[in-house]
Amino acid sequence: MAKIVRFHRIGGPEVLQIDEVPSREPGKGEAKLRVKAVGLNRSESLFMHGHYLESTQLPATLGYEAAGVVAGVGPDVDRGWLNKRVSTIPAFSLNRYGVIGDEVIVPVHSLAEYPEHLDPTEATSIWMQYMTAYGSLIEIGRLKKGEVAVITAASSSAGLAAIDTVKCEGAISIATTRKSDKRRGLLASGADHVIVTDEEDLVSRVREITGGAGARIIYDPIAGPLLDKLADVAAPGATIFQYGLLSGEPTPFPLIQALQKGLTIRGYWLWETVKDPETFARAKSYVYEQ
């Protein structure tokens, strides 16, 4: 028997339960993973509450990211995967697979070996945030050396990955956070500038830092009324990537700024990066190499 976490109704943590289910063998294109550690993201919470970008089909399993050892492979899968230490990349639907359990089935294309110097807990912290940053900033945004990128909610995992990515490209990061106690940590993480929005005016500070030019790339999971300010600090022709709705408020479209500056305000979901095999391969290579 295997133990997995499932939920049979929409709701908060109270709907989760540990179910014992018969252990099964992987099918075509699948592998069996003995799980050592799991990582949780906001996407799991949204899926559990029925607010995710794909509708929740009940009963549902949960979890995109896990690290463990490959214990079995499907009939068409390279047996070289057996006994390898791997982590899972969020390259599947939560309605088909979930990795919170002691023994789970995953699509083999979602597996990636992780470096020897990482332990399983650390290995669950690689893919979601770094591939989200890669897909928007590099694959679509084409961030260049010396350019300025504004990263909001920068102390989040995706924000920290974006800071790393901007640094790797030789670009300049302006990280925003609401509280001053995050400033030191963000600077230590590589941010070139930090704006504490509870204490500083976002628009005037970005204009000051950029000499009035604004930022060509803006990476934002907050949305809501903040989008209007982000449009104010955007450079002409800038792209604002919206990859979340942390504000929970309606997001009015900044029409005047968009018209004046020719802005692109673009929704982004990690699925864009992982659904195309060629893009997915480039993203994995980038994360490994950087």
The domain of 224 spans 128-272
Do the Cβ atoms of 232 and 257 come closer than 8 Å?
A: yes
Distances (CA, A) of 163 to 12, 52, 176, 200: 31, 25, 11, 20
Q: Could you give the strand order of the β-sheet that contains 103-107, starting from the edge strand earlier in sequence?
A: 103-107, 30-39, 65-73, 85-88, 111-113
Q: Say if residue 13 is in the same domain as residue 118.
A: yes
Q: What per-residue confidence (pLDDT) applies to 1?
A: 86
Burial of 173 (0-12, 13-18, 19+ CB in 10 A): buried
> Residue 119 CB: number of other CB atoms within 10 A?
13
Question: Quick check: pTM over 0.85?
Answer: yes
Residue 109 sits in a domain whose CATH number is: 3.90.180.10
Total number of domains constituting the chain: 2
Residue 198 sits in a domain whose CATH number is: 3.40.50.720
Does residue 65 form part of some domain? yes
Q: Say if residue 140 is in the same domain as residue 263.
A: yes
Q: What per-residue confidence (pLDDT) applies to 229?
A: 97
Q: What per-residue confidence (pLDDT) applies to 85?
A: 96
Strand partners, 85: 69
Residue 185 Rama label (left phi>0; alpha psi -120 to 50; beta) = alpha
Q: What per-residue confidence (pLDDT) applies to 284?
A: 92
Q: Is residue 241 helix, strand or coil?
A: strand
* Positions of the chain with pLDDT under 50: none
Q: What per-residue confidence (pLDDT) applies to 53?
A: 87
Q: What per-residue confidence (pLDDT) applies to 99?
A: 95
Q: What per-residue confidence (pLDDT) applies to 175?
A: 98
Q: Say if residue 111 is in the same domain as residue 135.
A: no
Q: What does the pLDDT look like over 42-92, one tens digit per residue? A: 899 999 999 998 999 999 999 999 999 999 999 999 999 999 999 999 999
Q: Say if residue 119 is in the same domain as residue 213.
A: no
Q: Say if residue 36 is in the same domain as residue 137.
A: no
The answer for residues whose C-beta is within 8 angstroms of residue 227's C-beta and 6 or more apart is: 220, 240, 242, 251, 252, 253, 254, 265
Q: Say if residue 102 is in the same domain as residue 197.
A: no
Does residue 278 form part of some domain? no
